[in-house]
Structure 1
Amino acid sequence: MGSARIEILVGSFLIIGFLALGWLALQLGEVPWVTESKSYILNAEFNNISGVKVGADVQIAGVTIGKVRHLKLNEDSLAVVGMQLDRSVTVPVDSVASVKSQGIIGDKIIQITLGGDSELYKPEDTVVDTESAVDLESLISKFAFGQVDK
Structure 2
Amino acid sequence: MRMRTVEISVGAFIVAGILALVMVALRVSGLTISAADNDYRLIAHFSNVGGLGLRAKVSMSGVAIGKVVAIEYDRDAYDAKVTMEISGYYDNIPYDSTASILTSGLLGEQYVGISVGGDSEYLADGDEFEDTQSAMVLEELIGKFLLNSVE
Q: TM-score, normalised by structure 1?
A: 0.73
Output the amino acid matched with 2:94: P
Q: 1:138 deviation in Å? A: 1.4
Flag as ranges the 4+ runs of structure 1 deviating above 2 A.
27-31, 145-148
Provide the rounded CA distance (Å) in 1 between the counterparts of 2:142 and 2:79. 24
Q: 1:116 deviation in Å? A: 1.4
Provide the rounded CA distance (Å) in 2 between the counterparts of 1:37 and 1:147. 54
Greater Cα radius of gyration, structure 1 or 2: 1
Q: 1:38 deviation in Å? A: 3.0
Question: Which runs of 5 or more residues in structure 1 are unaligned?
Answer: 1-20
Equivalent residue, structure 2, for 1:17: none
Over the matched positions of the two proteins, sequence identity in percent amounts to 35
- RMSD in angstroms over aligned alpha carbons? 2.5
Equivalent residue, structure 2, for 1:59: 59
Please give the per-residue CA displacement for 1:108-146, whole angstroms capped at 9, x wherever unaligned. Answer: 010001111111111011112011111221121122133
Equivalent residue, structure 2, for 1:95: 97
Aligned length: 124
Output the amino acid matched with 1:144: L
Provide the rounded CA distance (Å) in 1 between the counterparts of 2:120 and 2:49. 28
Question: Which runs of 5 or more residues in structure 2 are unaligned?
Answer: 1-18
Equivalent residue, structure 2, for 1:86: 87
Equivalent residue, structure 2, for 1:122: 124
Please give the per-residue CA displacement for 1:70-125, whole angstroms capped at 9, x wherever unaligned. Answer: 00111211111111000111211110011101122110010001111111111011
Q: TM-score, normalised by structure 2?
A: 0.73
* Secondary structure class of the residue paired with 2:148: coil
